[in-house]
Structure 1
Amino acid sequence: MGKQLLRGTLQNSEGRELETDVLVIGGGPAGAWAAINAASKGARVILVDKGYCGTSGATAPSGTGVWYVNPTPEDREAAMKSREALGGYLADRKWMTSVLNKTYDNINQLDAWKYPFPLDDEGKPHRNSLQGPEYMRLMRKQVKKAGVKIWDHSPALELLADEYGVGGASGVFTTTGEQWTVKSGAIVIATGGCAFLSKALGCNVLTGDGYLLAAEAGANLSGMEFSNAYAIAPAFASVTKTAFYTWATFYYEDGSIIEGAGSQKGRSVIAKTLQTQPVYARLDKADDEMQKWMRKAQPNFFLPFDRAGINPFTQRFPITLRLEGTVRGTGGIHLVNENCATKVPGLYAAGDAATREFICGGFTGGGSHNAAWAMSSGSWAGEAAAEYALKLGANSSKRNVVGVSSTPIVSNFKRDTQYGTVSHEITKAVQAEVNPYDINLFRTESKLQPSLQRLDQIWKEIRAGILIDEANVVKAREAAAMTATARWMYSSALERKETRGMHKRLDYQEQDPAQHYRILTGGLDKIWVKPESSLKHKEVITR
Structure 2
Amino acid sequence: MTTNNVEKHRRPPVTAADRAVLHDADVLVIGGGPAGAWAAISAAANGAQVVLADKGFCGTSGATAPAGTGVWYVSPDDDARERAKASRFRLGGELAEQTWMDRVLEQTWINAHQLAEWGYPFPVDDAGEQRRTSLQGPEYMRLMRKRVKQAQVRILDHSPALELLVDQHGTVAGAAGVDRQAGDPWTVRAGAVVIATGGCAFLSNALGCNVLTGDGQLMAAEVGAALSGMEFSNAYGLGPAFSSVTKSLFYNWATFYYRDGSAIPGAGSSHGRGVIAQTLEIEPVFACLDRADEQIRGWMRQAQPNFFLPFDRLGIDPFTQRFPVTLRLEGTVRGTGGLHLVDQTCATSVEGLYAAGDAATRELICGGFTGGGSHNAAWAMSSGFWAGAGAADYARSQRRIGPGGKRRLLRAGGAGLRDGGGHASYDSNEVIRSVQQEVFPTQRNWTRDGDLLGDSLVRLDALWHRVRGAAAARNALDAVRAREAAALVATSRWMYRSAQQRTETRGMHRRREHGALDPSQGHRLLSGGLDEVWIDRLAVPRSAHHVQGVTA
TM-score by structure 2 length?
0.94
Describe how 1:36-47 pairs up with structure 2 within 5 A.
36-47=41-52
Task: Tell me the distance in 1 between the aligned counterparts of 2:380 and 2:533.
Answer: 28
Task: For residue 431 of structure 2, give the secondary structure of its aligned residue in structure 1.
Answer: helix
Equivalent position of 1:409 in the other structure: 417
2:280 is matched with which residue: 274, 278, 285?
A: 274
Task: Tell me the distance in 2 between the aligned counterparts of 1:203 and 1:538.
Answer: 34
Q: Is the 8 A contact 2:164 2:172 kept in 1?
A: yes
Task: Tell me the distance in 2 between the aligned counterparts of 1:519 and 1:409.
Answer: 30
Task: Tell me the distance in 2 between the aligned counterparts of 1:165 and 1:87.
Answer: 34
Q: Is the 8 A contact 1:7 1:179 kept in 2?
A: no
Q: Is the 8 A contact 1:517 1:535 kept in 2?
A: no
Equivalent position of 2:422 in the other structure: none
Equivalent position of 1:532 in the other structure: 538
Equivalent position of 1:460 in the other structure: 465
Task: For residue 307 of structure 2, give the secondary structure of its aligned residue in structure 1.
Answer: helix
Query: CA 1:371–1:394 in 2, change beyond 3 Å: closer, same or farther?
Result: closer
Task: Tell me the distance in 2 between the aligned counterparts of 1:320 and 1:467.
Answer: 37
Deviation of 1:8 after TM superposition, in Å, equals: 7.6
1:74 is matched with which residue: 62, 74, 79?
A: 79
Task: For residue 472 of structure 1, give the secondary structure of its aligned residue in structure 2.
Answer: helix
1:144 is matched with which residue: 137, 141, 149?
A: 149
Query: CA 1:410–1:466 in 2, change beyond 3 Å: closer, same or farther?
Result: closer
Correspondence 1:178 to 2:178: no
Give 4+ residue runs of structure 1 displaced > 4 Å after superposition.
5-9
After superposition, the C-alpha distances for 1:505-542 in whole angstroms (9 at most, x for unaligned) are: 00100100000011000001000001112554753534
Q: Is the 8 A contact 2:69 2:377 kept in 1?
A: yes
What is the aligned-residue identity percentage? 60
Equivalent position of 2:263 in the other structure: 257
Equivalent position of 1:113 in the other structure: 118
Task: Tell me the distance in 1 between the aligned counterparts of 2:393 and 2:179.
Answer: 29
Task: Tell me the distance in 2 between the aligned counterparts of 1:382 and 1:272.
Answer: 43
Unaligned runs of 5+ residues in structure 2 are: 1-7, 420-424
Equivalent residue letter for 1:512: D
Correspondence 1:101 to 2:92: no
Deviation of 1:461 after TM superposition, in Å, equals: 0.4
Q: Is the 8 A contact 1:27 1:54 kept in 2?
A: yes
Deviation of 1:199 after TM superposition, in Å, equals: 0.3
Equivalent position of 1:310 in the other structure: 316
Equivalent residue letter for 1:100: L
Task: For residue 372 of structure 1, give the secondary structure of its aligned residue in structure 2.
Answer: helix
Deviation of 1:398 after TM superposition, in Å, equals: 2.0
Q: Is the 8 A contact 1:422 1:467 kept in 2?
A: no
Deviation of 1:19 after TM superposition, in Å, equals: 1.3
Q: Is the 8 A contact 2:435 2:460 kept in 1?
A: yes
Deviation of 1:4 after TM superposition, in Å, equals: 3.1
Equivalent residue letter for 1:295: R
Correspondence 1:364 to 2:370: yes
Q: Is the 8 A contact 1:219 1:344 kept in 2?
A: yes
Task: Tell me the distance in 2 between the aligned counterparts of 1:73 and 1:168.
Answer: 42
Task: Tell me the distance in 2 between the aligned counterparts of 1:297 and 1:54.
Answer: 20
2:441 is matched with which residue: 429, 436, 440?
A: 436
Deviation of 1:164 after TM superposition, in Å, equals: 4.8
Task: Tell me the distance in 1 between the aligned counterparts of 2:170 and 2:178.
Answer: 25
1:207 is matched with which residue: 197, 203, 213?
A: 213
After superposition, the C-alpha distances for 1:134-174 in whole angstroms (9 at most, x for unaligned) are: 00000000000001000001111000113151011100000
Query: CA 1:232–1:8 in 2, change beyond 3 Å: closer, same or farther?
Result: farther
Correspondence 1:128 to 2:133: yes
Task: Tell me the distance in 1 between the aligned counterparts of 2:503 and 2:418.
Answer: 41
Q: Is the 8 A contact 1:3 1:405 kept in 2?
A: no
Query: CA 1:262–1:245 in 2, change beyond 3 Å: closer, same or farther?
Result: same
Query: CA 1:377–1:539 in 2, change beyond 3 Å: closer, same or farther?
Result: same
Equivalent residue letter for 1:407: A
Equivalent residue letter for 2:212: L
Task: For residue 101 of structure 1, give the secondary structure of its aligned residue in structure 2.
Answer: helix
Task: For residue 397 of structure 1, give the secondary structure of its aligned residue in structure 2.
Answer: coil
Q: Is the 8 A contact 2:170 2:223 kept in 1?
A: no
Deviation of 1:366 after TM superposition, in Å, equals: 1.6
Task: Tell me the distance in 1 between the aligned counterparts of 2:131 and 2:447.
Answer: 39
After superposition, the C-alpha distances for 1:185-221 in whole angstroms (9 at most, x for unaligned) are: 0000000000000000000100000110111111100
Describe how 1:208-227 pairs up with structure 2 within 5 A.
208-227=214-233
TM-score by structure 1 length?
0.96
Task: Tell me the distance in 2 between the aligned counterparts of 1:24 and 1:269.
Answer: 41
Task: Tell me the distance in 1 between the aligned counterparts of 2:397 and 2:451.
Answer: 51
Equivalent position of 1:496 in the other structure: 502
Unaligned runs of 5+ residues in structure 1 are: 412-419
